[in-house]
């Protein structure tokens, strides 16, 4: 069964040397990003086409194994007033289905507020004069990276607050 976990608990339980997988779930695509093994930098990975759930689970399972994923950070597309609409319901349903997928057994899942992530990425790409066709190819995995970076930054802050990380230990 998939374990839904709060970001604060994930920060406490995160295994050293294991990565996080960021997901931007869309109706047609699934944007993916991974963290480095230190869980400090998110990098866009790929964009999957939405298929039958079972086919997407196989792809996710392969990525989880290949990249030694400890947990999934999935964007929760709340409305600007913090309410949850149909897109949030679809995301929660996807995670519930993950809980019943034996290939994903035991993977921790953390919801992350993704409000504005796709728009921020799209605006950045427009400002960089990236063509519409190229934007279409990269926006979902970049949005997943944006979501994941927000989560790893929060995890870092929580670990500093708890004394698990001393900021002076890092060279900037």
Contact 59, 45 (CB under 8 A): no
Domains detected in the chain = 3-163 (3.30.420.140)
Instruction: Write the pLDDT tens digit of every residue in 44-85.
Output: 999 999 999 999 999 999 999 999 999 999 999 998 898 899
Instruction: Write the pLDDT tens digit of every residue in 121-171.
Output: 888 888 888 888 888 888 899 999 999 999 999 999 999 998 877 665 555
> Full-prediction pTM beyond 0.95?
no
Main-chain dihedrals φ then ψ at residue 131, nearest 5 degrees: -65, 155
């Amino acid at each position: 069964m998939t374990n839904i976990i709060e970001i604060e608990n994930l920060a406490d339980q995160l295994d050293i040397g294991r990565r996080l997988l960021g997901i931007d779930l869309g109706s047609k695509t699934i944007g993916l990003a991974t963290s480095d093994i230190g869980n400090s930098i998110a990098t866009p990975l790929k964009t999957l086409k939405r298929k039958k759930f079972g086919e997407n689970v196989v792809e996710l399972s392969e990525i989880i194994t290949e990249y030694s994923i400890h947990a999934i950070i999935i964007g929760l597309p709340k409305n600007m007033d913090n309410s949850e609409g149909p897109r949030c319901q679809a995301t929660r349903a996807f995670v519930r289905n993950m809980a019943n997928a034996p290939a994903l057994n035991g993977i921790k899942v953390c919801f992350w507020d993704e409000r504005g992530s796709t728009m921020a990425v799209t605006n950045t790409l427009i400002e960089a004069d990236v063509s519409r066709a190229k934007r279409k190819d990269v926006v979902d995995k970049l949005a997943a990276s944006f979501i994941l970076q927000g989560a790893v930054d929060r995890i870092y802050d929580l670990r500093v607050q708890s004394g698990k990380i001393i900021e002076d230990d890092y060279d900037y």
